């Protein structure tokens, strides 16, 4: 977070959004605690990404995007050896993994991606879409919800997207 002010605020918001969605999805207290930790730590792997790429105001080159795509694996490698964070490390590893093989890292599909990681993916995307970034303005809640719905069934778990719709309506 010290490398990137956006990431510090983003991580806190992702953790809160993820817990709200996790409660709506009926997760246990233990799952919610792990989800909160994973939300706070989900981008820890960005510490291995050069600042010039993290803070680039324009579009990333394919090589730069390849480096960004490695941050979940870096995060997993950082967290896995820490006692008590192994489950959290798995969620960090898969927070950019969607359904039907979408996303990264390669390997897991559909139900094998833990529900907490699927929740984290939605919370991460929601905050990214509804926050101003150096390269674009924030989307409205309606626009962000439309994008989640467009990704429902591929990038995002459809049951969880419907729960986001319920939360936005509350």
| Side-chain-facing half-sphere of 63: CA atoms under 13 Å | 1
Residue-level pLDDT at 136: 79
Average pLDDT rounded to a whole number, residues 71-80: 96
Domain count, the chain: 1
Asked if pLDDT for residue 117 goes beyond 60, the answer is: yes
CB count, 10 Å around CB of 149? 15
Q: What angle do CA 7, 104, 98 make, to 5 degrees?
A: 90
The pTM (predicted TM-score) of the whole model is: 0.90
Euclidean distance between CA atoms 72 and 153, whole angstroms: 22
Asked if pLDDT for residue 135 goes beyond 80, the answer is: no
Asked if pLDDT for residue 110 goes beyond 70, the answer is: no
pLDDT class of 57 with cuts at 50, 70, 90: confident
Whether 72 and 96 have beta carbons less than 8 Å apart is answered as yes
Report the CATH number that the domain containing residue 137 is assigned in CATH: 1.10.3210.10
Residue-level pLDDT at 56: 85
Choose the weakest-confidence range: 37-46, 60-69, 87-96, 101-110: 101-110
Q: How far apart are the first and last CA of the chain?
A: 31
> Cα Rg for the chain, rounded, in angstroms?
15
Domain that holds residue 49: 5-169
Asked if pLDDT for residue 2 goes beyond 60, the answer is: no
């Amino acid at each position: 977070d010290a490398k990137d002010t956006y990431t510090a605020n983003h991580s806190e918001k992702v953790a809160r959004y993820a817990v709200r969605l996790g409660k709506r999805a009926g997760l246990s207290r233990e799952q919610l605690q792990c989800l909160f930790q994973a939300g706070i730590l989900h981008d820890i792997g960005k510490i291995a990404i050069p600042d010039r790429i993290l803070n680039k105001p324009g579009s990333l080159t394919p090589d730069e995007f390849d480096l960004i795509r490695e941050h979940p694996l870096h995060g997993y490698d950082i967290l896995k050896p820490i006692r008590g964070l192994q489950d959290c490390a798995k969620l960090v590893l898969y927070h950019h993994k969607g359904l039907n093989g979408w996303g990264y890292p390669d390997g897991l599909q559909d139900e094998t991606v833990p529900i907490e990681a699927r929740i984290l993916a939605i919370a991460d995307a929601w905050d990214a879409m509804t926050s101003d970034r150096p390269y674009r303005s924030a989307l409205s809640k309606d626009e962000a919800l439309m994008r989640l719905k467009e990704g429902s069934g591929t990038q995002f778990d459809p049951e969880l997207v419907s729960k986001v719709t319920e939360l936005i309506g509350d």
